[in-house]
Chain A
Amino acid sequence: MIVSVKNLVKRYDDLLAIDHLNLTVHDGEVFGLLGPNGSGKTTAINCILALLEYDKGEIEIFGRPMKPEAYDIKRHIGVVMQNVAVYNELTVEENINYFCGLYVADKKLRQELVREAIEFVGLQEFTKYYPKKLSGGLLRRLNIACGIAHKPKLIILDEPTVAVDPQSRNKILEGILELNQQGATIIYTTHYMEEVEQICSRIMIIDKGRSIAVGTKDELKAMITLGEKITVESQRITAAQLSALRRLPNIVSAEYKNRLLVIKSSKGSNNLETVLEFIKQEKIQFGKIYSELPTLNDVFLEITGKQLRD
């Protein structure tokens, strides 16, 4: 086990920011911490890193208690903070070298690591640039390089793709998977469910400082009743047809709004076939018809009653 958090409680005066959070991260996994803004993701990370005082709980990394003076543990952790944290007076290369030097004393080894980090984030053409000259995406890549240049065993990335263009975002996500393939364990916090679905092997959904679900994406989707969402574009659906539709087997709900008929069905086979049969029988005219499997947003919606981005 790489990270173990037991019963973590953190309060800001009357606000309960972390509410008895339990979390385990296993060796070699990409662990996603998914939750809306203000759900407590960053607070949890700062507690894990021994930056924040907390009211209650136990935190262990690499099987040892995590404390501010646990330098042996810190040596093997790489952190990419939510806010870009680099020196504006140092060039790209100097910044990476500086932060890598906080972990690696050997100058020759460091030079090699810096070179690899620059290549890894694709900043070879910008090594002599000062951060102010870089675009938002390139700046984020520099931020990542500063956090991972020393090749840590555990990498914590706190919303590294906020305000990043799609091209840079893809590059960052591919890079994270590559780091994981090279042997690093990753903790990745975000409020973008697509990113979590794309890269995380295990996910914890967090809301109001509480863990509301943990598992692989398939396990999480299996936790909810929704099995399939069928959408039909149609000019006219009568109330009678709508109520008949709701009485079909496995249908959880059917709503008609803005010429869209949205049918949610529980898990089971042939749901789409049943709906198509009904449409044919009722001679309902339709344009498009498509079926979607549930997303993590549906999981979040069903558990909390609100959208992930609310």
Chain B
Amino acid sequence: MSLHIFGNRLKCLLRDKENVFWTMLFPILLAVFFNLALSNVNAGESFQAIKLAVVNNSSFHNDQALQTALDAAAAGEQKLFELTLTSQEQAEQLLTEQKVSAYLLVDEEPVLVVSKTGIRESIIKSFLDSYLQTTAAVNTILQNNPNNPALLFQSAGERQNYLAEVTGSAADPNNILIFFYSLIAMSCFYGGFWGMREVTDIQADISALAARINISPQHKLKAFLSSLTASYLIHFSELILLLLFLRYVLQIDFGAKSGYVVLTTALGSLAGIAYGAFISALVKKSENMKVAILIGTTMFGSFLAGMMIQDIKYLVSQKFPLLAYVNPINLLTDAFYSLYYYDTFSRYFLNITILGGMTIAFCLGTYVIVRRRKYASL
């Protein structure tokens, strides 16, 4: 490696404001935007108690069992209902003004009055159905077998759950992490801008600068590798800054395996630079066209990896699983998520192996094209 080329290249690249913006500042700005837009997503998924009005008439007063059941459902931190005891007229008005989801009128039997159908109304109805079934069952059993009613009431109040929830990880599932992980993956592939510039500056049939390097007594591939190393160092440093910003400013959780996160970022940066270099070497069109291809494919890959709409990621995984495995941005996103969520490394290593294979393919492809030292035309 030529230290002279490496040092000057560092200077050159660090002063390339446009590339520094796209590869460092743009992802940070996007992360801030994501943070603003997504900060309430997880909070929005926590259950909010359903507002229910109950007509406070004599029938309700006499139905001790229903009062007990409703009081139980409206108590505690994870309460199901927020009750309002009121008159029928007031309950009707609250429902009209959509201040409650439904109101309950107890006559001979409890009647649920709703103004529309929806998940909240369905939950209230399920609760009421369950209550009516239980009271009906208890009444029937008492009529047929009046012995030991205390035991019956005890067992009727119990619910047996036959399914056990087992977590695969010590970490909590977190939907918004996918957005940030795919953002890091996208930033890794924005390293393609650096890779693209390196090829432009070494291929004499693309730029006059490259022709000047080619006629100097420097071995072309040695000069290319020296410049590429400078690009890699800058891009990897930018990504580390992004990780630090996400972790310590936006408080994004990367789990406990921080060493692997850095390692994954290092590979992601290499993959991104190799991808950009390959596109630049392969596409014999104008620089604008190459940039358009690089941005287009990176954004499309990020889209499929769930950066804009999270459900797309699952849709691709279910309907087009091969696409999920050939999309390097998805592989990186999943690698980060598996480091965060899973206790085992099997999924992580699978993704990293495929990504490593792709990186080697990009490097070999670039080498085959760039190694040429004479050109058919300039």
> Hey, which bits of chain A sit against chain B, CB under 8 A?
12, 46, 49-53, 68-69, 71-72, 74-75, 77, 79, 81-87, 89-90, 94, 97-99, 101-103, 105, 146-147
Task: Give 9 A-B contacts (CB < 8 Å), ordered by A residue.
Answer: A12-B377, A68-B214, A69-B219, A83-B208, A87-B209, A89-B13, A98-B4, A98-B8, A101-B4
Please indicate the chain B residues that have their CB under 8 angstroms from the CB of A86 in the complex: 209
Please indicate the chain A residues that have their CB under 8 angstroms from the CB of B213 in the complex: 102
Please indicate the chain B residues that have their CB under 8 angstroms from the CB of A82 in the complex: 208
Please indicate the chain B residues that have their CB under 8 angstroms from the CB of A87 in the complex: 12, 209
CB of B11 within 8 A of CB of A102, answer: no
What is the bound-complex CA distance between A121 and B217, given in angstroms? 24
B61 at the A/B interface (Cβ < 8 Å)? no
Binds A, one of B26-34, B94-102, B368-376: B368-376
What is the bound-complex CA distance between A72 and B218, given in angstroms? 10
What is the bound-complex CA distance between A46 and B208, given in angstroms? 12
Please indicate the chain B residues that have their CB under 8 angstroms from the CB of A98 in the complex: 4, 8
What is the bound-complex CA distance between A69 and B209, given in angstroms? 18
B16 at the A/B interface (Cβ < 8 Å)? yes
B378 at the A/B interface (Cβ < 8 Å)? yes
- Nearest-neighbour CB distance to chain B for A99, whole angstroms, equals 7
What is the bound-complex CA distance between A83 and B209, given in angstroms? 9
Contact of A74 with B217 at beta-carbon distance under 8 Å, contacts A51-B375, A90-B12, A101-B8 already known: yes
If over half of A's interface residues share one DSSP class (helix, strand or loop), that class is named, otherwise mixed; here it is: loop
In addition to A77-B215, A85-B207, A102-B213, 20 A-B residue pairs with Cβ atoms within 8 Å of each other are: A50-B215, A50-B374, A51-B211, A51-B214, A51-B374, A51-B378, A53-B374, A53-B376, A68-B220, A71-B218, A71-B219, A85-B209, A85-B211, A87-B209, A89-B16, A90-B15, A101-B4, A103-B217, A105-B4, A146-B212
Out of B8, B212, B378, name the residue touching A79 (CB < 8 Å).
Answer: B212
- Nearest-neighbour CB distance to chain B for A140, whole angstroms, equals 13
B204 at the A/B interface (Cβ < 8 Å)? yes
Please indicate the chain B residues that have their CB under 8 angstroms from the CB of A51 in the complex: 204, 211, 214-215, 374-375, 378
Q: Closest 7 A-B residue pairs measured CB to CB?
A: A68-B373, A85-B208, A89-B15, A102-B216, A71-B217, A83-B208, A74-B217
- Scoring B15, B204, B216, B218 by chain A CB atoms within 10 A of each residue's CB, the highest score goes to B216
Please indicate the chain B residues that have their CB under 8 angstroms from the CB of A83 in the complex: 208
Contact of A74 with B209 at beta-carbon distance under 8 Å, contacts A51-B378, A52-B375, A53-B376 already known: no
Please indicate the chain B residues that have their CB under 8 angstroms from the CB of A146 in the complex: 212
Task: Tell me which residues from 210 to 258 in chain B have a Cβ below 8 Å from any Cβ of chain A.
Answer: 211-220
CB of B374 within 8 A of CB of A52, answer: yes
Contact of A102 with B217 at beta-carbon distance under 8 Å, contacts A81-B211, A84-B208 already known: yes
- Nearest-neighbour CB distance to chain B for A149, whole angstroms, equals 12
What is the bound-complex CA distance between A12 and B377, given in angstroms? 8
Q: Which residue of A lies closest to B16 (CB)?
A: A89
Task: Tell me which residues from 140 to 172 in chain B have a Cβ below 8 Å from any Cβ of chain A.
Answer: none
